[in-house]
Amino acid sequence: MHLSLRRAAVAAVVFGAALSLNWQGRAQTSPVIIAYVFPRNELIVPSEIAADKLTHINYAFADVKDGRIVEGFTRDAENFKLLADLRRAHPHLKILISVGGWTWSGNFSDAALTAESRRRFTDSAIAFVRRHDIDGVDIDWEYPGLRGNNNVHRPEDRENFTAMMAELRQALDVEGRARSRRYLLTFAAGASPDFIAHTEMDKVQAVVDFVNLMTYDFRTSDPIAGHHANLYVHPADTKKRSVDGAVRDFLAAGVPPAKIVVGVPFYGRAWADIKGDGTGPYQPGSRPTERIETKYG
């Protein structure tokens, strides 16, 4: 499971929370529980992180500037040292840098555009991993070939995303052999048919360890009230969005079951002024303006 702390900070440590479940299709593999930690410009508080319940921490976020991965916040270096201490106390724990996110995905398309720009990006990833002694890279490009947060995007993003991930995998493997360790490569995937249509999932999955599905925020600014991370489709939901449907779509796109990590938010959304004859869900109302959050621990 991955704890998706994606849009807001919970106690300045977790900015979303998501359960990561490995969907098994054959041989049993060890499940993973991934938490995104999003401290912004604050110091993390290691005692507030339930490290014994986690397998991975994705530190959110690094930025992409001039085609390179760079630190996004003022206290990142201090926070990586605190996370290294946490890893020493919990040797099973892996620490990754999550790059981009909703706010900082605007420069991915340019970074992935050419062989030269991808080499610059990959070199900066290796330098970042070395600088902070972390265990891998999580790419959170929201989204290849799609506008996202009014981002630069191109039709070529589909193939360029594949090339970027393949070159990152190769560079991380070379670095790993030099240091006698294995570095992880993962990415956050939009849980929608549009994301699949604008990527080459069958090729990308082959070079990554996990595909972290963003199976939450199915409804963010929609005036129709409804679950934003529902497991199954509600009969009244005209959008037909669900965790189950997203997982099935990614399986059909060629992602092996053991690589799929399901995201579950530890927050809810609220609508008001519900109209219609129903009991609330999938009835028209005001757009959600608040999130009800709970701390993971």
Which residues are identified as catalytic?
142
CA distance 9 to 287: 21
CA distance 274 to 139: 38
Packing angle, helices 76-89 and 115-132, rounded to 10: 60
Helix (H, G, I), strand (E, B) or coil at 279: coil
For tokens 């720009």, what's the residue?
A: 117
CA distance 93 to 91: 5
Structure tokens, 169: 């995998």
Residue 280 and residue 274 in contact, taking contact as beta carbons nearer than 8 Å: yes
The full length of the chain comes to 297
φ/ψ of 236, rounded to 5, equals -90, 0
In one-letter notation, the amino acid at residue 26 is R
